[in-house]
Structure 1
Amino acid sequence: MLGALVRAAQACYDMAIVFETPFISGKDSLNNEFQYEGRTISIPHTLLISAIGVMDNASTAVSMDFKQAGDLVYIIGTTQNELGGSEYFRSQGFVGNGVPKVNPRLAKELMHRLSTATEKGLVRACHDCSEGGIGVAIAEMAFAGGVGASINLESVPLGEPVDRDDFI
């Protein structure tokens, strides 16, 4: 448990250095158990952090909701065979060692390009894929905007061959 916390903190440090962005607060929660109606309920260990970024013009910020039917969807980055450690794998009873790996320098370059496109007014909505992949991100954007979405999964950029649709 302590080793996982140390590795998580080291990864946060490494990303903060690459992105040149400070964390303004943080907290770890290692003892997340409580009793309820005679049962012990355990919550995974958690590292909470807050980071801050600077925008030259806050009016260029975008929200995650789709704005209108027909807007195009772009996937930034590539999808890999990396579902190890995911809630999806756990829920399906799978065990996988292919945990997501971040290339900090590539991530910084992609975020810089996305930021530039946003400042130029080329981005109407934006959402990450951290809570369940592309499918969950698209669903959340559609629900928030009150519009549907049609996505061709064959168009999703892959960093390596993926033989299962659920990896996307």
Structure 2
Amino acid sequence: MIDQKLTEWLYYEHIYRWALDKTAYDDPKYVEMLPDEDEFLEYIMNCSTKEFVTTLIYIFKKEYPVNYSNIRAELSWDEQKEECIEGKCFRKAADIKSIYFIEDKDYYNLNKVRLEFSSPQPDAKDWVKQGLLGKTYQEQHTSGETVFSFQDEILQTIKVIDKGLLIQLNPDQLPE
């Protein structure tokens, strides 16, 4: 599992987030965290499928990751078209077909994360359980699908099938 220190930047809302004349790079604490962000991104681009899934679950079980859009495993820049390519995963292992961070249209908060594996992963539910260690949840099994449900948490449900998973966040727990 990833070192907790390497994920702290995900939850840090820099002091100039809403300032018109400043950026995150004007915040000394944010700048101090940049090496952790780089190390984290290097890790998720190169880790095993199991480590990727457990890290993703770990991130969301803790609290709302304000900087989720900086998780670049799902983004790449097309130099010729000069545009960002979303959805397609660019991990070195090519084990994940796609990952989407789906936002609420009205508030621009993250609503869901949908991940699709390149091939069936029958151990995916065990990876989710490992990422959820220490969390209280209900687990239901129905025809090839496992659903983890949570009470009063940032996570609302996690649906797992062999080909992927869907993380649904609790709208009542999202930041304003």
Q: TM-score, normalised by structure 1?
A: 0.26
Work out which of the two has the higher radius of gyration on C-alpha atoms and give 1 or 2. 1
With the length of structure 2 as denominator, give the TM-score of the two structures.
0.25
